Amino acid sequence: MTLTAPNTRVRTIAHWSDGKLFAGNSDRTAPVTNPATGQVTGQVALADVADARAVIEAARAAFPAWRDTSIAKRTSILFNFRELLNARKQELAELITAEHGKVLSDALGEVSRGQEVVEFACGIAHLLKGGMTENASTNVDVASIRQPLGPVAVISPFNFPAMVPMWFFPIAIAAGNTVVLKPSEKDPSASLWIANLWAEAGLPAGVFNVLQGDKVAVDELLTNPAIKAVSFVGSTPIAQYVYSTGTMHGKRVQALGGAKNHALILPDADLDLAADAMVNAGFGSAGERCMAISAAVAVGPIADELVAKIVERTKTLKTGDGTRDSDMGPLVTKAHRDRVASYIDAGEADGATIVVDGRQVSADGGEDGFWLGPTLIDHVTPEMSVYTDEIFGPVLSVVRVDTYDEALELINANPYGNGTAIFTNDGGAARRFQNEVEVGMVGINVPIPVPTAYYSFGGWKSSLFGDTHAHGTEGVHFFTRGKVVTSRWLDPSHGGINLGFPQNN
C-alpha cells in the first residue's frame, strides 16, 4: 500500500497496531472515493470486535513503558514529529484533498493548525508541573502531581482528518498516554500517514495506533475497560451516544457535537468586510466545517445591501477539483451532496428566496464528482429546515431581524452553541454581545473564531457533551488525573496508637 501517493489506486487501507500495518481478520470493507472524480480509490478495512480488541491491546501493552518514559524523552520525540510534519506537510495535504475533496490550500491550512497543537504539546513539561507544600503539618510535606490515564481513544470526523485528531493525540501522548485513533471511514489514509510519521520520529510501537472501522469499532472503544478516556468530534446525535455510552462504562468523555453558527451583522458594520467574511466562512471547505457560518443575521435596513455584496463575491468563486485552481471543492460523498441539495429544495418549497443556486454549478472537475456550488438563500425564517438543521454544506442563509435584541434572542434560542460572530464598529455592542451570547467561541469581526492551541476549543449546549474542551490547558487536564502525596520522613518517634482523625499541627 502506498501512503504518500494520493493519486494511486490502493486495494486496502488497513489498521496500524503495535508499530506496523495490521490487516485484521474482518472481511468487511468500505469504499474510499476521490470526491472530485467519483472514482473509488481504495477499500478501507472495517474492524470486527476481535480486530478492535487487538489494536486496543497494543495500546494497553505499551502504556506502562511509555508512562515511565521521562518527560524529556517524550518531549524530544514530540519535537522530532513536529520537524518531520513541518517538512512534509504538503504530502499530508495532498492526501487529504484526494479523499476529502477540499482544495489543497485549505488542506494545508488544516495541517498547519493541527501542527500548532503539536507545538503546544512540546511544552508539556511546564504544563505537567505539580505543586508542593513543605511542612504542611509538622515534618509533613504535601505534593500534587498529574499522571496519565492509560490508553485513550480519539474518534474523529471526516471533515478534518488531520487537524481534529491533532487536537487530541499530541497532548495525550506527551502526557504519557497511549492512543487508539478511529478516523472516519470516508478519508482514512491520513491517519496511516501520521502513524508512519510517528514511527519515523521514534515513538515506541503501540503508543499510537489506528483502528479503521464503523460503529462496531466505536462501540468496542466505548465499552472496552482498557480504554480510559474518549475524545469525539462529530454530529450531535452521535456525540450524545458516545457520551452516554462511554460514561456509563466508567470513561472520561469529551464529545464535541454539531453546530448552527450565526453571524450577527449590525447596521454600523463594514459591509464589505462582513460580506467577505460570510463568503469565506460560509463556503470554505464546501461548508463542511463545524465552525462554518451558516446563518447571517442582518439587523435593520442593511440586508439588501449585504445580500448584494455577498452575491457579487459568490459569483466570482470557482468550484472544482481541489488540486486545480479552485476556490471550493466537491462534497465528501454523493449521498452527502444529495442530502445538502435536498435542503435547498426544502428552503425553496418553504418560500425562501434562492439568490445563488449551487445546484446548477458548472464545476472544473470530473463529471461524476460530488459537486454542489455555493448557495445563498435569503428571507429564511426560524421554522424552516434550512435554518433549524445542521446542513454541513455550502449553504448560507440570511435571516432578517429588526433589532440587536431580536438577533440575540434568536441565537440564544438555538439548541447549538458552538461558534458565533458579530460584525460591528461599536465596541460597546461587541462587548455586550460577548457577554450575553450563549455560545462557546465568539468572534468580533472574526468569522471563524477557532482558538489558538494554547486556548481551548469547545461549544456550549448541544455542541458539547462533557465538562472539558479540546486542547489548551483543558486538554492537558483531560488527559491526566491528579494525585496528592502526603509524606513524613523526619521524626521517627511519631509512632503510637491514635484512632482519631489526623489533625494538622
The region of weakest confidence among 125-139, 170-184, 480-494 is: 480-494
Residue 136 has pLDDT above 50, yes or no: yes
The answer to whether residue 468 sits within a structural domain is yes
Q: Which three cell numbers stand for residue 477?
A: 487536564
Residue 61 counted as domain residue: yes
Q: Do 303 and 378 fall within a single domain?
A: yes
381 in a structural domain: yes
**pTM of the entire structure?**
0.95
Q: CATH no. for residue 321?
A: 3.40.309.10
Tell me what percent of the residues of the chain surpass a pLDDT of 70.
97
Kindly give the interhelix angle for 49-67 and 215-223, rounded to the nearest 10 degrees: 40
Domain identity same for 478 and 397: no
Strand intervals (E) in 149-285: 151-155, 178-182, 208-210, 229-233, 252-256, 261-265
Residues acting as catalytic residues: 290
**Both 124 and 201 in a single domain?**
yes
Phi and psi of 150, rounded to 5°? 135, -150
**Same domain (yes/no): 189, 233:** yes
Q: How confident is the model at residue 489 (pLDDT cuts 50, 70, 90)?
A: confident
177 and 135 inside one domain: yes
Same domain for 163 and 68: yes
User: If you average pLDDT over residues 398-405, what whole number do you get?
Assistant: 98
Q: Are residues 437 and 476 in the same domain?
A: no
Enclosing domain of residue 253: 11-257+463-484
- Asked whether residue 10 carries a pLDDT value surpassing 90, the answer given is no
- 241 and 268 co-located in one domain: no
Q: How confident is the model at residue 494 (pLDDT cuts 50, 70, 90)?
A: low
Question: 361 and 270, same structural domain?
Answer: yes
Any bridge partners for residue 145, and if so which? 483
Residue 230 shares a structural domain with residue 323: no
- Which tens digit of pLDDT belongs to each residue from 28-69? 999 999 999 999 999 999 999 999 999 999 999 999 999 999
Query: 2 pLDDT exceeds 50?
Result: no
Q: How many domains does the chain have?
A: 2
Output the domain CATH number for residue 92.
3.40.605.10
Element (H, E) at 339: helix 334-349
